Amino acid sequence: MMKSKNTQHLNIIKIEYFKFFLTISILLLSSCQNETTLNQINTVQGSIKSSELGVSLTHEHIMSNFGKDITESLNYDTIELFNQVIPYLKQLKSYGVNSIFDCTTEYFGRRVDLLKTISDSTGIQIITNTGIYGAANDRYVPEFVYDASAESISEIWIDEFENGIEGTKIRPGFIKLAFDNKALPSNIDKKLFKSGILTHLKTGLTLAVHNANNVEAVKYQIELLEAYNIHPSAWIWTHANKVEDDTILIDLATKGAWISLDGIKESNTEEYIKRIRHFKQENLLNKILLSHDGNGYPKGGKIRKFHALFENLIPEMLVSGFTDNDIHQIMVENPKEAFGIRIRKN
Ligand SMILES: [Zn+2]
């Protein structure tokens, strides 16, 4: 009798323990699933974990037809393109580059099918974008946008994210937008930004916005992000290197925004070191992104190179007091954090 009572008691403990174990397992599993969605990056070859990004160039153009008419934006001499770009990307790979964020938008030369071939042939992970480029005096804004609502434009971008671009399975890894360099942002640029916000809220894609030194445009965007309760870390100030005074960059980085210093070339190494040091002094190395705004095939012309970072800037940083950890933070951790797909509410 005693024995069976004990056994019964033991069984109850076992069941309770099992239930406890089950709950913990479910909790762990759901947090793992959460992690996975948080850490995803879309490349032209499919989704990867952001930990697989590695050393990344966050603002380059594998190729573009920027400068040509919008009607010619899809036309490339593909043999010539491949002959020029593929060996160059292989050279970049020898510098340790794993991933490149391609900032060529639809209407000035995005061709995801060609990006896929280039990625397959080089082993470089390429991340393409959705969005519309509103700078360059609206040269690359298609007609339909003027009459469309911000919501209906965002539906096109959300559809690319959910179903793939132009009948392929290739999904965008970020939203690319651009503001003209006007004192006050134009209605079309404002509308496109609103479409970007709506797309972010649905997809979790980060907004990379070409602003250069247009502080008024930046203020407008920050206000709209706030109005939609989106954290500034969902937003990248592209070409922020064009701003002369770092104060506003430091201020926005402190609030969580990403500062893209993306005009690196051999001749401005010293200037970049000075700026990056400024961010380091403010403990904000974790908010900057470095790149060249290079172009592997600009309108069919010669490569606008994108390796000064490895030939000049990084070696110079390492003899100027920066550590391997600093470089790792900027080149690996920051891209991972900036582009990891997630909705960033305040
Ligand atoms: Zn660019």
Residue 335 CA to ligand 1 centre (angstroms) = 16
Q: Is the pLDDT assigned to residue 3 strictly greater than 70? A: no
- DSSP letters for 262-328: ----GGGHHHHHHHHHHHHHTT-GGGEEE----BSSBTT---B---HIIIIIHHHHHTTT--HHHHH
pLDDT bracket for residue 10 (50, 70, 90): very low
SS3 content of the chain, % helix, strand, coil (to 5): 55, 15, 30
Q: Is the pLDDT assigned to residue 105 strictly greater than 80? A: yes
DSSP-derived letter for residue 59 is: E
pLDDT bracket for residue 24 (50, 70, 90): very low
Residue 12 CA to ligand 1 centre (angstroms) = 65
Residue 160 CA to ligand 1 centre (angstroms) = 21
Q: Which CATH superfamily is domain 38-339 in?
A: Metal-dependent hydrolases (3.20.20.140)
pLDDT, residue 38, reads 57
Beta 46-49 vs 40-43: how paired, if at all?
antiparallel
Mean pLDDT of the chain: 92
- C-alpha 311/C-alpha 260 separation (Å) is 20
Q: Is the pLDDT assigned to residue 334 strictly greater than 90? A: yes
pLDDT, residue 217, reads 97
CA 44 to chain centre: 13
pLDDT, residue 73, reads 96
Compute the average pLDDT of residues 183-193.
Answer: 96
From first CA to last CA, the distance across the chain in angstroms is 61
**Per-residue pLDDT reduced to its tens digit, 236-275:** 999 999 999 999 999 999 999 999 999 999 999 999 999 9
- C-alpha 205/C-alpha 208 separation (Å) is 9
- C-alpha 55/C-alpha 275 separation (Å) is 21
Residue 293 CA to ligand 1 centre (angstroms) = 5
Residue 61 CA to ligand 1 centre (angstroms) = 6
Compute the average pLDDT of residues 188-206.
Answer: 98
pLDDT, residue 28, reads 40
Residue 253 CA to ligand 1 centre (angstroms) = 21
Beta strands in the chain (DSSP E): 40-43, 46-49, 56-60, 99-102, 125-127, 129-130, 174-178, 207-210, 235-238, 258-261, 288-290
| Tokens describing residue 90 | 């292989």
Q: Is the pLDDT assigned to residue 5 strictly greater than 90? A: no
Domain ranges for the chain, please list them. 38-339
**pTM of the model as a whole:** 0.89
| Higher per-residue pLDDT: 342 or 183 | 342
